[in-house]
Amino acid sequence: MLTPKEIARMIDHSILHPTFTDADLREQCAIAVQNGAATVCVKPYHVAQATECVAGSETAVCAVIGFPHGNSTPEIKLAETLQVIRDGATEVDMVINIGKMLQGDLHYVEEEIGLICRACHEQGILLKVIFETDFVTRTADRIFLCEACNRQSVDFAKTSTGYGFVKLADGNYNYQGATEEVLQLMRKHCAPEVAIKAAGGIRTLEQILKVRELGVTRVGATATTVIMQEARRLFGA
């Protein structure tokens, strides 16, 4: 039977909203530490402060780069990666260049993944590659990204940023995020050593348990407190 700690160790507690202040960061880091989350996932300029906030706990710091739309040049993504590592991040979540992916510039996309992956691994840092599957919708493109992660020895393939908003039929903007269809495809085409992170729309314990059955080992979430309250209720303290 699962324990609450095992659930908590699946969670990257997301602290990425554009409006978050330093005070919000401190509050959210405290939530992550109290619940034993695997990491706090933070914006680059918050890495050093987040590292101080989680010091002495089991919670590590994950930084996003090229976030949320992946539009920086490879050189800037590399510089950003090296900076967040210097500031204390032990995991990096990078967004692919979505436009290059959609136009079929596969060499560019894979070269960029490899560049960032090598920089991370040279310093013992885990890399997660964000596909942004609300924008990258073609099955062949998603499979290519899985295979590129395999070839470049990426640690995690990740579905979404949570900010990949698309216009819906009613005119509003929203995202689907970590759908069952996407997760099944990613787990099928990623090598066993490439783990899967589900992000975008994961807000309940029920959803975490469901994606876990699909082979997901890490999730991005903001509703960590609610999730862990339910986990403790179901699985004990």
Mean pLDDT by 10 residues, the chain (237 residues): 94 97 98 98 98 98 97 98 98 98 98 98 98 97 98 98 82 84 98 97 96 98 97 88
> What is the Cα–Cα distance from 36 to 133, expressed in whole angstroms?
29
CATH no. for 4-235: 3.20.20.70
Helices (H), 93-195: 98-102, 106-121, 139-151, 180-189
- The CA dihedral of 188, 191, 194, 199, to the nearest 10 degrees, is -10
158 is catalytic: yes
197 is catalytic: yes
Q: What is the DSSP letter of 65?
A: E
> What is the Cα–Cα distance from 64 to 91, expressed in whole angstroms?
9
Q: What is the pTM assigned to this prediction?
A: 0.96
> What is the Cα–Cα distance from 65 to 80, expressed in whole angstroms?
6
Residues contacting residue 24 through CB under 8 Å, at least 6 positions apart: 15, 17
Question: Considering only CA atoms, which of 131, 138, 141 is closest in space to residue 96?
Answer: 131
Question: Which of 12, 87, 93, 134 is an active site residue?
Answer: 93
> What is the Cα–Cα distance from 145 to 142, expressed in whole angstroms?
5
93 is catalytic: yes
